[in-house]
Amino acid sequence: MNDGTSDIAASIRDKAPLILVEIKKASSILLHCHPSPDPDSVGSALAMKLVLEKMGKSVTVIAGDSPIPDAFMHFPGAKDIIAKNYFEIDLAKFDLFIAQDSGGLSLISRKGPVIFPPNLYTIVIDHHATNSGYGKINLIEVSYPATAQVLADLFSVWGIALDEGVATNLFAGIYSDTGGLRYSSVTAHTYSVMADLAAHIHDISTLIRKMHSNTPGALRFQSIALKDIDVIGGKFALSIVPYSAISEYGFVEDEISAAMIASFMLSVPQWIASACGVEIEPGNFKISFRSSDEKLCDVSILAAALGGGGHKAASAARLSMSAEEAKKLVVAKAKELYNL
């Protein structure tokens, strides 16, 4: 009989006891959210916080470089997140830092060079293939679609009894990082984990409805981003949103999700990959890439070619140039890398 735990990745079984030893030694633990946090970042931080507090630890979650979007404030424990970045806290107060869902030091902060003081033992828990392994212990399971799924299995190996707070945060993280269980990184094991989590959530439909919520501003942004789509070789959809559109409508950060647009464009079956670039400030683009078929089109290669990184099906980069140059560059690189 498959009890659902036999599919837990070997890396998690191997590292779980080592991580637990370090947690038991620690008294004050720091967690963070990555810049432009998504539900996997926030949900993983909050789930870990709730579990560590049950172990009697003092835990601080910092928001990091970006504010926590209002849309995530319903995550259990979200109100306790401290609105500070890595450079605004006294690192001497902590003896353990668990960096989650962050492939590199720039995902801890972009406000300066991230250095871990000697008092701060660092554990990395992540699922990004591009993770350099910058911790003393690195639990990086690249076959998993979300850090929250790594945590769900880690907690299961530790024998932690789930409660609604932990389950809700992990469910939100996995649901979001899989595009609502749509991406190819989703396995039967993911569904098994989600079923376990769902069993502890009393109103699952309300949670899912909240995960799909919009604001009027976000809808307006979507209409603008979807207005002019370039399709390269009939397969690769590209939307570039210039700063003029952002400033004209006065969009706020939560409303302008390049990742959301890139994912949404894949609802057209012929478009197997997509990119959305948003000029968040003049000459500065945040660009997200998505692929519905990572064998035909691995978008981590394109992101890497543009100085970014991520997964085969979901990646991102930053570009410093004009909207015209950004469009030209992405078109040229996509044509070159994918023979479009």
Query: Among residues 107 and 256, whose Cβ is nearest to Mn ion?
Result: 107
Query: Among residues 33 and 50, whose Cβ is nearest to Mn ion?
Result: 33
* Spatial distance between the Cα atoms of 267 and 264, rounded to a whole number of angstroms: 6
Query: Among residues 185 and 323, whose Cβ is nearest to Mn ion?
Result: 185
Q: Is 126 in the site for Mn ion (CB under 5 A)?
A: no
Distances (CA, A) of 201 to 49, 76, 155, 194, 331: 18, 12, 17, 11, 44
- If one counts every other C-beta atom within 10 angstroms of the C-beta of residue 119, the result is 12
Residue 136 has phi, psi (to 5 degrees) of -75, -40
Q: Which of 236, 310, 248 is nearest to 279 (CA)?
A: 248
Sequential DSSP letters for 94-133:
-SEEEEES-SSGGGT-SSS-----TT-EEEEEE--TT---
Q: Which range binds Mn ion by CB under 5 A, 55-63, 79-87, 146-154, 218-226? A: 146-154
Residue with tokens 């035909």, as numbered in its chain: 296
* Spatial distance between the Cα atoms of 177 and 15, rounded to a whole number of angstroms: 23
Residue 40 CB, nearest approach to Mn ion (Å): 3
Q: Which range binds Mn ion by CB under 5 A, 141-149, 232-240, 247-255, 298-306? A: 141-149
* Spatial distance between the Cα atoms of 59 and 208, rounded to a whole number of angstroms: 28
Query: Among residues 40 and 294, whose Cβ is nearest to Mn ion?
Result: 40
Name which of residues 95 to 114 contact Mn ion (CB under 5 A). Answer: 101
Residues 281 and 243 sit within 8 Å (Cβ to Cβ): yes
Residue 142 CB, nearest approach to Mn ion (Å): 11
Residue 101 CB, nearest approach to Mn ion (Å): 4
Show the tokens assigned to 278: 């948003």
Query: Among residues 238 and 287, whose Cβ is nearest to Mn ion?
Result: 287
Residue 315 CB, nearest approach to Mn ion (Å): 12
Q: Which range binds Mn ion by CB under 5 A, 1-9, 83-91, 156-164, 169-177? A: 169-177
Bridge pairing between strands 96-100 and 284-291? unpaired
Among residues 23, 29, 34, 40, which is the contact residue for Mn ion, using CB under 5 A? Answer: 40
Q: Which residues pair with 85 in a beta bridge?
A: none
Name which of residues 217 to 276 contact Mn ion (CB under 5 A). Answer: none
Q: Which range binds Mn ion by CB under 5 A, 153-161, 171-179, 213-221, 264-272? A: 171-179
Residue 28 CB, nearest approach to Mn ion (Å): 25
Q: Which range binds Mn ion by CB under 5 A, 40-48, 114-122, 131-139, 220-228? A: 40-48
> Residue with CB nearest Mn ion?
40
Among residues 177, 254, 279, 294, which is the contact residue for Mn ion, using CB under 5 A? Answer: 177
**Which stretches of the chain bind Mn ion, using CB under 5 A?**
40, 101, 147, 177
